[in-house]
Structure formats: structure tokens, C-alpha cells
């Protein structure tokens, strides 16, 4: 069995409902496990009314919601780089991370490794993590089948361009994109969607990754999920297999042929093509 997992708080919940509805319509054979952070208990019945094969975990944690943390590189976060707030007429609509982010925002992003380990303990064969702002447009069967031959499957880029197919670890730079600063070589792991196999190597990989990210200096760091993922990969890269997914499984350019559209950064606020697709499932 493959488990699709995701995390949401009350602000992302409307986007989560759209994602769940898109799965119900276009890939209704998958099991979904949702971690809800500080959400109302009524959300469980609401989601199960949308899709019968969804399990909800409630995570209640005292988290600061004030945006007072600056990302480690000191650069603006994605939404600000694309001028979302200048282009969006509705000042009351939900906004993603800008220059500053909150503890809660970082926690919701980074707690996924704990969720993966929980599902590993249930002996699911594969775990497919997906950000809550994704839209599933076609069956996920092809993605699941393709990923079953590799330990980790994820869309990847380096300074030389988009990676393709099975990854040669010797070709992957050691520096993560978010730690690059003056480095001219880097790798970026697009951790908004990825698939991992449940085996002893991955259990050890994600156990150690979870241990690293639960340090408060990392758990509340917006970029820690990708930076620490790269750190862990560099330690064991000769022992694991990685496949760089085609863009159609994590498409931020919105091709008609793509399986999953992702609302990263500015897209969920200002790209009409993505907003129109959301309305199909709203």
C-alpha cells in the first residue's frame, strides 16, 4: 500500500480540501493520511465526507504565529520574490511566507519527517508526501509505479539544470541551494512532493533526519527540511538510490499533460490558470 501524506493548519485548510477533493475525483484508490496542526475537530468529518479513504491525525501544539523569523540565507522568501503582495488586490486573502515567517509555518513544513516515520512503523510500502497546496489532476498510479524501484523519488535541480532519471551521486553537488551563498555549485531538492520506499535504509535515513530536525533551532527554521535532507543524503548517498522525477509530477508551470500541479510560492494567489483549476474542486 502507498500512503499519501500531507500537513495543514487552519490557514491552509481550504487548500487542503481542494487537494483532497482532487484526489477523490482523479485518483480515488489511494489512502491519505492528513496531519492537522491546531485545527478544529470538525475537520475530520468534513474531510471524510469529501473522501472516504482519508485518516486524520490532530496535532495540538503551542506555536507562535507571529512572523518574526528571517530565513537563514537572509533572502526574501518565494512569495515576496514574485511580488505577490503588490499584485494581489485582495489584502485580506491568506498570504504565504514573505521576508518573515512564524514558528507555526516552519513547524508545519518540517514535521513531515515525523509523519513519514509514523507511517513506516505501520509497514506501508511507500510514502508519498505532498504539500497541501497541490492539485492531483490524473491518477497517481504512474508516479507510484515509477517510484517503487528507488529509495527516494523527487524533482531535483542543480546549478547545471534539471536532473533527469536515475541520479548518479557523483554528479550531485554537496551544497544545498539554500546554503549556497557564494558557492557556484548547488543542489535543490524540491521537497514539496516526493516518494520514499519503506525499507531498512530509508527507516534509518528518516529516523536520523527526524532526530536532526527536532532540534528547536532546526524545527522552527523554514528551510531546514531541504537543507537537512541534503545533509543526510550526503552522508549516505553511495548506499541509496534516487530518481529525479519528471516535472509532470510536480508541475509549477501547469501543463495540461501533468499529473500534479503545485501551488508553490505565488501561484496559489495570482496565477489564473491555477486558480481556475482550484475552482473545479472548491
pLDDT per residue as tens, the chain (282 positions): 999 999 999 999 999 999 999 999 999 999 999 999 999 999 999 999 999 999 999 999 999 887 765 555 544 444 444 443 344 444 444 455 545 768 999 999 999 999 999 999 999 999 999 999 999 999 999 999 999 999 999 999 999 999 999 999 999 999 998 888 887 899 999 999 999 999 999 999 999 999 999 998 899 887 889 999 999 999 999 999 999 999 999 999 999 999 999 987 666 666 889 999 999 999
The pTM of this model reads: 0.89
Helices (H), 27-153: 42-50, 78-81, 84-87, 103-110, 112-120, 141-147
| Confidence at residue 222, expressed as pLDDT on a 0 to 100 scale | 79
| Confidence at residue 255, expressed as pLDDT on a 0 to 100 scale | 95
**Taking the alpha carbons of 105, 81, 176, 72 in that order, is the dihedral positive or negative?**
negative
| Confidence at residue 27, expressed as pLDDT on a 0 to 100 scale | 98
Cα separation of 259 and 27, whole Å?
10
For residue 72, report the phi and psi dihedrals to the nearest 5 degrees: -60, -30
Cα separation of 201 and 233, whole Å?
12
| Confidence at residue 88, expressed as pLDDT on a 0 to 100 scale | 44
For residue 146, report the phi and psi dihedrals to the nearest 5 degrees: -60, -40
pLDDT per residue as tens digits for the range 75-125:
444 444 444 334 444 444 445 554 576 899 999 999 999 999 999 999 999
How many other C-beta atoms are found inside a 10 Å radius of the C-beta of residue 261? 26
| Confidence at residue 81, expressed as pLDDT on a 0 to 100 scale | 41
Amino acid at each position: 500500500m502507498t500512503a499519501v501524506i500531507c500537513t495543514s493548519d487552519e490557514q491552509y485548510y481550504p487548500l487542503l480540501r481542494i487537494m483532497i477533493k482532487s484526489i477523490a475525483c482523479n485518483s480515488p484508490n489511494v489512502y491519505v493520511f492528513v496531519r492537522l496542526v491546531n485545527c478544529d475537530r470538525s475537520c475530520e468529518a468534513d474531510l471524510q465526507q469529501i473522501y472516504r479513504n482519508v485518516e486524520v491525525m490532530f496535532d495540538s501544539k503551542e506555536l507562535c504565529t507571529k512572523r518574526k523569523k528571517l530565513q537563514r540565507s537572509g533572502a526574501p522568501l518565494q512569495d515576496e520574490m514574485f511580488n505577490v503582495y503588490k499584485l494581489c488586490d485582495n489584502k485580506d486573502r491568506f498570504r504565504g511566507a514573505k521576508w518573515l515567517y512564524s514558528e507555526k509555518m516552519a513547524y508545519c513544513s518540517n514535521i513531515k519527517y515525523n509523519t513519514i516515520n509514523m507511517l513506516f512503523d505501520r509497514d506501508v510500502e511507500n510514502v508519498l508526501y505532498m504539500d497541501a497546496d497541490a492539485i492531483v489532476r490524473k491518477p497517481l498510479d504512474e508516479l507510484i509505479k515509477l517510484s517503487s524501484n528507488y529509495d527516494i523519488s523527487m524533482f531535483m535541480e542543480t546549478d547545471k539544470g534539471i536532473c533527469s532519471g536515475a541520479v548518479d551521486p557523483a554528479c550531485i553537488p554537496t551544497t544545498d541551494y539554500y546554503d549556497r551563498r557564494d558557492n557556484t555549485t548547488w543542489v535543490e531538492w524540491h521537497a514539496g512532493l516526493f516518494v520514499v520506499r519503506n525499507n531498512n535504509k530509508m527507516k534509518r535515513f528518516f529516523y536520523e533526519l527526524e532526530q536532526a530536525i527536532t532540534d528547536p533551532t532546526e524545527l522552527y527554521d523554514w528551510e531546514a527540511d531541504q537543507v537537512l535532507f541534503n545533509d543526510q543524503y550526503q552522508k549516505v548517498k553511495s548506499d541509496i538510490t534516487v530518481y529525479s522525477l519528471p516535472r509532470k509530477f510536480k508541475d509549477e508551470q501547469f501543463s495540461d499533460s501533468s499529473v500534479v500541479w503545485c501551488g508553490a510560492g505565488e501561484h496559489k494567489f495570482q496565477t489564473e490558470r491555477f486558480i481556475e483549476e482550484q475552482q473545479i474542486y472548491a
